[in-house]
Amino acid sequence: MSTKPPISIEFFPPQTSEGVEKLRATRARLAELKPEFFSVTFGAGGSTQARTFETVFETQREGYEAAPHLSCIGSTREHVREILKRYQDAGIHRIVALRGDLPSGVGDPGELRYANELVEFIRAETGNHFHIEVAAYPEYHPQARSPKDDLLAFKRKVEAGANSAITQYFYNLDAYLHFRDECAALGVNVPIVPGIMPIVSFSKLARFSDACGAEIPRWMRRKFESFGDDSESIKAFGLDVVGELCARLIEAGAPGLHFYSMNQAGPTLALCERLGLQG
């Protein structure tokens, strides 16, 4: 591969002191890849908000660019304004703006109901201070009424001021290429960075994929199922198929790769080593 695409890596906020220590070690190992930024997730309705702040600010203190996720569902403009000011004051310059999901049992969607409204609000409040990432769904959002509705929702986020997008993970290259072409046909030309989910445990991946609408192709499912509890074969096959997917994405001109690390260093490091993407 003649050119190395930029990479970025996602973490979730640890829930325990042991998790905090583990993430510090993970971040130090993954920093060797020289990612453009580390993103940090934000739970349903901001349920991990305090831990998100702690993880973001610690990442930044260590000298890395941190990109906090910010979801708007179930929140108020004033609350979002306070968070934006806190990030501005801390010198954060990149945000992943998401609608998010309502926590179970909460019925009020809040004052900002959709991601495009959040993007518009961030721009109105902070101008061009933040590089705004938004989500994209090559296999379409599971709650979208139709593929066309989902594409138009994505277009609205870009028109509201998003700079670039990170996709839900996928294992079907054609889904990404088709989505990219459809966006271009609509005049949506921001970089759409593929989200990459390394495969370590097939049973966990299958449950998560069924819930979020990411397809695991039948041939992959059957192969994984044939390994039973043979975790080493699952990891080896996962590395093969995801490595091949990444190589083909790079060859197809993907503007970068965003790795969902699940707070583990090994799987992402193994993929980047195979792809020749070490820092």
- Active site members: 10
Cβ proximity of 152 and 188 under 8 Å = no
- H-type alpha helices, 202-230: 202-212, 218-226
Reading the block at residue 219, the tokens are 């041939």
User: Which of 67, 90, 76, 20 is CA-nearest to residue 46?
Assistant: 76
Cβ proximity of 259 and 268 under 8 Å = yes
Q: Calculate the dihedral angle through the C-alpha atoms of 177, 179, 181, 186, rounding to the nearest 10 degrees.
A: -170
DSSP-derived secondary structure letter, 104: T
Q: What's the distance, CA 151 to chain centroid? A: 18
